[in-house]
């Protein structure tokens, strides 16, 4: 059963018209009404949703972010949903729907973003302010959109795959909201101590921290520029040139190749400056509250299906501050990452039986090295990653012929994707997420007439080929990760854990393990000490289930490396 949730007709603002309300309507499997419209005052919506959730409906809404965070704050969680916006953005590009009559890519809608405000818990009266301040699509519009999407999926020849992708993507939106609501356990005192160790005491106003100022003074002396501002790239470049250091940029990788007394303190300054700017005291004040870091995730924020984050840098937590991510007393952080996910996905996509044999041991690269590279693991890794990412020069280019001879199916799979991209064609992941079509400018450039124009067009074609080569692998890995998370969430919701003394913030039993962080192929779960073994088993079960869902019975495993730690810094 589908249950559509929309802002009630006529509720355009909080101070005009009737009291703010929501419309609900149940639909059958085809998206046709199977009940009567129910209009509910927003202040009563959490209780109504809690009651309706007993029938296990699939909630349908324009965006999960419009409704679910407020429901979580009211102590209500839901089992499943269909996020119309994210599903629409998959369907308008997917090759699977090309012949179904569903609107194509020019009809795609951008994923709207929430504000970058500092985290906090609003009061009950403001839970649904975003809906009453500006009315979104009405119930009829959402129902029509759902019917169109369901019909498009039914009319494809890949209904099972596409249905799975839409369900997993929508589950991801629930997980993202729940992780933001729960937050990563974060010790502010440990974060402060880390900053104190690296940067010195917290500076006042706009002043540099003590250690940065000390390095800046040393740089001024070594470069002979008393007024140098090392945060200015132009000033720094001029100072280096005057000191005889010939560099084109001030990027760290270029500076590391040089020998000059100023290079070591300059690299140290740049490293500490990044820490201060990205995760210093201002970051701590804005993003950590109540012992939790609550970033905002963007599901499918990358065209390949990978997640992104909006503010807080959730997907780029540097090693320097991971020690502040610290489990509560009596709890552990369980960090699991899918081992060598993309190479294993390639072996499964290509049905390369020899590479599957190499993957039977936990270390795929070692298996490949034994089969074709004389046991040299480093060479095997360089060759395989070069094939996936299109590195055709240097060491990876030199090793490519050997890799091709050993694994013709796997290499042929990514080569076919690259050739398709170079010709302007579309490529698609295992479950049906397709890459965006080439731009009009790109297509026009391919019809160039002069030699110089042709040279640029060939370069653009090769660049797109590298993109599509990686898209089929990275995107299919994102498909797998989405199913892994969804399967784990389903298992955690059924976790047999009851703790006397009340319920957790999301309405479930207190103490139930919770996903608190996700990064491409890594999941972090916060669990009680006594639940650790069971959660580890569930992570592995979910990985096996995801593999079965995507590839069926195949002779290749997708193992997960699991580390149980008190601090995230100890997981790597």
User: Do 192 and 274 fall within a single domain?
Assistant: yes
User: Do 385 and 464 fall within a single domain?
Assistant: yes
What pLDDT is attached to residue 487?
98
User: Do 160 and 210 fall within a single domain?
Assistant: no
- Span 149-190, pLDDT tens digits: 999 999 998 999 999 999 999 999 999 999 999 999 999 999
CATH number of the domain enclosing 447: 1.10.150.20
**Helix, strand counts (H, E) of the chain:** 21, 14
Over residues 344-368, the mean pLDDT reads 91
User: CB within 8 A of 502, min separation 6: which ones?
Assistant: 510
Give DSSP secondary structure letters for 164-184.
Answer: HHHHHHHHHHHHHHHHHHH-E
Domain boundary among 152, 182, 212: 182
- Span 412-442, pLDDT tens digits: 999 999 999 999 999 999 999 999 999 899 9
Q: What are the b/e assignments for 490-521, b being 16+ CB within 10 Å?
A: ebbeebebeeeeeeeebbbeebbbbbbbbbbb
Domain count, the chain: 3
Q: Give 236 or 312, the one with higher predicted confidence.
A: 236
- Span 320-330, pLDDT tens digits: 999 999 999 99
Beta bridge partners of 525: 334, 515
State how far the Cα of 45 lies from the Cα of 309, in Å rounded to an integer: 29
User: Do 157 and 200 fall within a single domain?
Assistant: no
What pLDDT is attached to residue 174?
98
User: Do 385 and 268 fall within a single domain?
Assistant: no
What pLDDT is attached to residue 516?
96
**Inter-residue contact 68 to 182 (CB < 8 Å):** no
Whole-number average pLDDT of the chain: 88
Any domain includes 134: yes
pLDDT band at residue 259 using 50, 70 and 90 as cut-offs: confident
Structure tokens at 194: 């880390």
**Inter-residue contact 227 to 280 (CB < 8 Å):** no
What pLDDT is attached to residue 275?
94
User: Do 102 and 209 fall within a single domain?
Assistant: no
Domain boundary among 269, 285, 301: 285
Q: Give 314 or 534, the one with higher predicted confidence.
A: 534
Give, as one character, the DSSP assignment of residue 438. P
- Span 463-510, pLDDT tens digits: 999 999 999 999 999 999 999 999 999 999 998 754 433 344 444 446
Q: Tell me: pLDDT of 3 over 50.
A: yes
What pLDDT is attached to residue 135?
59
CATH number of the domain enclosing 225: 1.20.1060
Any domain includes 37: yes
- Sheet with strand 2-7: strands edge to edge: 38-41, 21-27, 2-7, 58-61, 80-83
Q: Tell me: pLDDT of 125 over 80.
A: no
Over residues 199-204, the mean pLDDT reads 95
**Inter-residue contact 199 to 94 (CB < 8 Å):** no
The sign of the torsion formed by the CA atoms of 371, 375, 377, 381 equals negative
Any domain includes 17: yes
Give DSSP secondary structure letters for 461-515.
Answer: HHHHHHHHHHHHHHHHHHHHHHHHHHHHHHHHHT-----SS-B-TTSSBTT--EE
User: Do 127 and 205 fall within a single domain?
Assistant: no
Over residues 334-349, the mean pLDDT reads 95
Whose tokens are 């006397």? That residue is 500
What pLDDT is attached to residue 133?
39
Coil/strand/helix, residue 24? strand
Any domain includes 534: no
What pLDDT is attached to residue 101?
86
State how far the Cα of 316 lies from the Cα of 287, in Å rounded to an integer: 14
Residue 240's alpha-carbon distances to 120, 231, 309, in angstroms, are: 45, 13, 36
User: Do 39 and 142 fall within a single domain?
Assistant: yes
Any domain includes 295: no
pLDDT band at residue 116 using 50, 70 and 90 as cut-offs: very low
Going by their DSSP bridges, the two strands 308-309 and 297-298 should be labelled as antiparallel
Q: Tell me: pLDDT of 132 over 70.
A: no
Residue 432's alpha-carbon distances to 83, 157, 361, in angstroms, are: 17, 11, 30
Least confident interval from 1-15, 316-330, 500-514: 500-514
pTM of this structure: 0.89
Is the backbone of residue 98 left (phi > 0), alpha (psi -120 to 50) or beta? alpha
Any domain includes 469: yes
Euclidean distance between the first and the last CA atom of the chain, given in angstroms as a whole number? 43
Structure tokens at 337: 């990452």
Any domain includes 482: no
User: CB within 8 A of 177, min separation 6: which ones?
Assistant: 64, 65, 68, 69, 72
What pLDDT is attached to residue 11?
54
Q: Tell me: pLDDT of 59 over 50.
A: yes
Residues of the chain with pLDDT > 90, as a percent, come to 73
Any domain includes 308: no
User: Do 440 and 406 fall within a single domain?
Assistant: yes
User: Do 382 and 457 fall within a single domain?
Assistant: yes
Q: Give 244 or 332, the one with higher predicted confidence.
A: 332
**Inter-residue contact 336 to 561 (CB < 8 Å):** yes
Domain boundary among 442, 476, 510: 476
What pLDDT is attached to residue 507?
42
* Domain span at 64: 1-182
Least confident interval from 66-75, 164-173, 246-255: 246-255
User: Do 175 and 222 fall within a single domain?
Assistant: no
The pair phi, psi for residue 127, each rounded to 5°, is -55, -40
User: Do 216 and 95 fall within a single domain?
Assistant: no
Rg for the chain (alpha carbons), in Å? Answer: 26
What pLDDT is attached to residue 246?
84
């Amino acid at each position: 059963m589908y249950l559509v949730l929309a802002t009630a007709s006529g509720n355009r603002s909080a101070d005009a018209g009737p009291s703010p309300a929501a419309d609900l309507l149940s639909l059958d499997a085809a998206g046709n009404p199977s009940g009567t419209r129910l209009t509910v005052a927003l202040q009563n919506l959490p209780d109504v949703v809690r009651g309706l959730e007993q029938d296990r409906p699939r909630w349908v809404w324009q965006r999960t972010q419009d409704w679910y965070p407020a429901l979580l704050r009211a102590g209500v969680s839901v089992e499943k949903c269909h996020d119309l916006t994210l599903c629409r953005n998959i369907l308008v590009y997917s090759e699977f729907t090309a012949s179904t009559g569903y609107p194509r890519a020019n009809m795609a809608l951008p994923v709207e973003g929430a504000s970058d405000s500092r985290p906090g818990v609003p009061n009950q009266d403001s839970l649904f302010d975003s809906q009453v301040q500006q009315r979104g699509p009405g119930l009829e519009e959402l129902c029509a959109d759902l019917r169109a999407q369901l019909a498009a999926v039914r009319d494809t020849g890949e209904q099972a795959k596409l249905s799975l992708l839409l369900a997993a993507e929508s589950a991801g939106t629930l997980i993202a909201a729940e992780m933001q609501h729960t937050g990563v356990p974060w010790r502010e005192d440990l974060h402060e101590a880390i900053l104190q160790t690296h940067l010195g005491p917290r500076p006042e106003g706009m002043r540099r921290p003590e250690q940065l100022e000390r390095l800046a003074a040393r740089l001024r002396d070594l470069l002979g520029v008393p007024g140098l501002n090392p945060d200015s790239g132009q000033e720094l470049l001029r100072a280096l040139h005057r000191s005889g250091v010939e560099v084109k940029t001030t990027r760290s990788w270029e500076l590391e190749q040089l020998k000059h007394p100023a290079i070591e303190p300059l690299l140290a300054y740049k490293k500490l400056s990044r820490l201060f700017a990205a995760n210093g005291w201002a970051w701590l004040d804005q993003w950590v509250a109540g012992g939790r870091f609550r970033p905002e995730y963007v599901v499918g924020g990358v065209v390949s299906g990978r997640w992104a984050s909006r503010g807080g840098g959730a997907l780029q937590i540097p090693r320097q501050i991971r020690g502040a991510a610290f489990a509560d007393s009596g709890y552990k952080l369980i960090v699991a990452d899918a081992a060598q996910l993309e190479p294993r996905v390639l072996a499964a996509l290509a049905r390369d039986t020899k590479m599957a044999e190499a993957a039977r041991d936990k270390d795929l690269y070692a298996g490949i090295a034994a089969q074709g590279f004389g046991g040299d693991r480093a060479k095997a890794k360089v060759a395989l990653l070069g094939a996936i990412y299109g590195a055709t020069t240097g060491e990876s280019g030199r090793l490519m012929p050997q890799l091709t001879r050993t694994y013709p199916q796997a290499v042929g799979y990514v080569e076919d994707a690259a050739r398709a991209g170079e010709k302007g064609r579309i490529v698609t992941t295992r479950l049906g997420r397709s890459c965006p079509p080439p731009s009009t400018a790109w297509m026009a450039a391919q019809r160039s007439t002069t030699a110089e124009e042709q040279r640029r067009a060939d370069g653009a074609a090769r660049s797109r080929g590298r993109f599509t080569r990686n898209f089929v692998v990275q995107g299919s890995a994102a498909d797998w990760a989405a199913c892994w998370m969804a399967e784990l969430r389903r298992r955690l919701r059924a976790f047999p854990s009851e703790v006397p003394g009340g319920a957790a913030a999301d309405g479930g039993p207190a103490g139930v393990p919770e996903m608190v962080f996700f990064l491409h192929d890594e999941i972090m779960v916060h669990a009680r000490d006594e639940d650790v073994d069971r959660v580890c088993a569930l992570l592995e079960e979910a990985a096996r289930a995801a593999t079965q869902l995507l590839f069926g019975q195949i002779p290749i495993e997708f193992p997960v490396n699991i580390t149980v730690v008190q601090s995230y810094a100890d997981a790597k």
